[in-house]
Structure 1
């Protein structure tokens, strides 16, 4: 027999889930975690610093404490928790830019999810008048916001350098490498490697500026271009992170064929994506599959589906390794004719 009160409470949690996400978005927009970086403050202090309406802010702070984002001290002041510190701008692995993106542009797209399910059309485009990548390319400000948010969502890169044998490699090419976080992780773990960061011109320019004064400045070359047309040659290992899930099968194969044309026999392609489980086990991949459908016009895939795409492009999938946050590293090698 169904435990009706428990089921009702669980359903209420589901129905009000956006209340929490919008409260976090408001906290990120006001920069509350940054304001609390030096110690606890009262709602009056925070209202003065942020220009917010104090009585309304006090109610938001109480809710954020309920969510565990803040803690309410006995004296009436608020401080950040470990969870809340992820919203600090300067915190390593900061998720503030993700909160700003998810709570506004992506939130608006999800509000039209039913449109996607009924029509197959893209909810983000339905709301914003342009597909996601085109929309965020409209202005430098939107582009920068999107790029910062994507850079913030890269906490799962750390194990990658230990999951592949880079011993015989000399050059690693990161295709669609964004801010270079994955490439930098690999290069710092393997000092004998040099890297090439390949992406669109504005992304490459931003990455070059960000890495100019780093310990990797002399080990990374930057190249701009379109991976639908050509991928830089000369690498031993190629990286492709969170590119394929944003594209349909035919565009994925087109990208993979460009990569295959550059990868030498004996080389490797390392892909970072979420992989849908086929046994029904819980996974963020199922969540992101609907997100990609509604917002980006993309799709998360099973390992078998990735194997099929890779096969069409001349690769063989040789291994799948689990990464944090339900992501995975898929290792592909040029297919031998006898396979």
Structure 2
């Protein structure tokens, strides 16, 4: 190994935010949308985006280094396969995720030192409110957040093949956002119906979006506070990326409400990033610090999720791997063992 390799590694880590901000600016300027119909020069793009051409040309050269765009022999740029993920209209587009990471999350991470010194998440220190209440104050921010979360829904696709939904007649998605997970399950189970449960403004937006899909006529909608009550009678309950934003006691409260609403032969499917019990490398360790800094939440190990589930009356019965170091945790009511 070269003697300079450790120093280069540290330098790469220190300058990582250069890349994240470059991708953010590319998303903000909608460069991938402008390039969707064919290659354009930096002059063309500057005219379309209202930017300074020499500065944009230097950004494009950097984006080429990052693999977001590539230059033709005549100097015109086109998007790469990775860069196309930033197109606004692409299914599962990551543009809103890039905006969220480049704006609200980026600013919050600037307070990481404050978080580590005090335990207060940096987002709340910056904005005067924790992340979820802060976004709830603005329909525009809520919509942006929901679109960003939908961008990472690719790890939902394997779920219908990992759990037997064949006997499920009603699938309830708790805090289901835009309904991407519920729609994935319903597409695989044409005889099932779904209930999407979330805050009212989230549900209304999802109703409009799901109405245009093939499963829209099989979805019912309900809203409320999942700490108080959730829709009863579902055969399968879905809970995706909710628990990592709450402390242990609040997690148990949510899980207990679901247990009360669920029949004895029901199932609860949880989607979260799980920190490996053996300490092996995982994106969950990265997102654990992200949740600490941005939401005051935490990623957990399988053992920790098992403990939470047992406190709420569930047994953890299976754990399946999903893309992007995400896991599907399957839980069933404890009373089933006694039957």
The alignment's TM-score, normalised by the length of structure 1, stands at: 0.98
C-alpha RMSD over aligned residues? 1.1
Q: Cα 1:3–1:118, aligned 2, differ >3 Å: closer, same or farther?
A: farther
Deviations 1:127-170 (A, max 9, x none): 12211011111222111111111111211000001111112211
Q: CA deviation at 1:248?
A: 0.3
Is the contact between residue 277 and residue 303 of structure 2 (CA under 8 Å) also seen in structure 1?
no
Most deviating of 134-143 and 194-203: 134-143
- Return the alpha-carbon distance in structure 1 between the equivalents of residues 87 and 222 of structure 2: 32
Which residue number in structure 2 is paired with residue 53 of structure 1? 52
Counterpart position of 2:252: 253
CA contact (8 A) 2:313 2:333 kept: yes
How far apart are 1:213 and its partner, in Å?
2.5
Counterpart in the other structure of 1:215: 214
Q: Is residue 94 of structure 2 the alignment partner of residue 92 of structure 1? A: no
> Corresponding residue for 2:139?
140
Task: Give CA-to-partner distance per residue, 1:36-56, whole Å, 9 cap, x none.
Answer: 000000000000000011110
> 2:157 maps to which residue?
158
Consecutive unaligned residues of structure 2, counting only runs of 5 or more, are none
1:290: which partner in 2?
289
Query: Aligned residue for 2:224?
Result: 225
Alignment partner, residue 110 of structure 2: 111
Residue range with higher mean Cα deviation, 101-110 or 144-153: 144-153
How far is 1:4 from its partner? Answer: 3.0
> 1:114 & 1:244 partners in 2: Cα distance?
25
SS of the aligned residue for 2:300 comes to coil
Separation in 1, partners of 2:236, 2:337: 22
- TM-fit CA distance, 1:31: 0.3
- Distance in 1 between residues matched to 2:180 and 2:318, nearest whole Å: 22
Give the corresponding residue for 1:330.
329
Q: Equivalent residue for 1:310?
A: 309
**Which residue of the partner structure matches residue 66 of structure 2?**
67
Residue 173 of structure 2 aligns with which residue?
174
1:278 aligned to 2:277?
yes
> Which residue of structure 1 lines up, in the alignment, with residue 82 of structure 2?
83
Distance 2:82 2:6 in 1: 27
Confirm whether residue 102 of structure 1 aligns to residue 105 of structure 2: no
* Deviation for aligned residue 1:180: 0.3
Residue 280 of structure 1 and its aligned partner are, at CA, apart by 2.2
Q: Aligned residue for 2:31?
A: 32
Runs (4+) off by over 2 Å: 336-339
Aligned residues: 338
The two structures have a TM-score, normalised by structure 2, of: 0.98
Q: Which runs of 5+ in 1 are unaligned?
A: none
Paired position in structure 2 for 1:124: 123
* Structure 1 CA distance for aligned equivalents of residues 290 and 3 of structure 2: 30
Answer yes or no: is 1:198 the counterpart of 2:203.
Answer: no
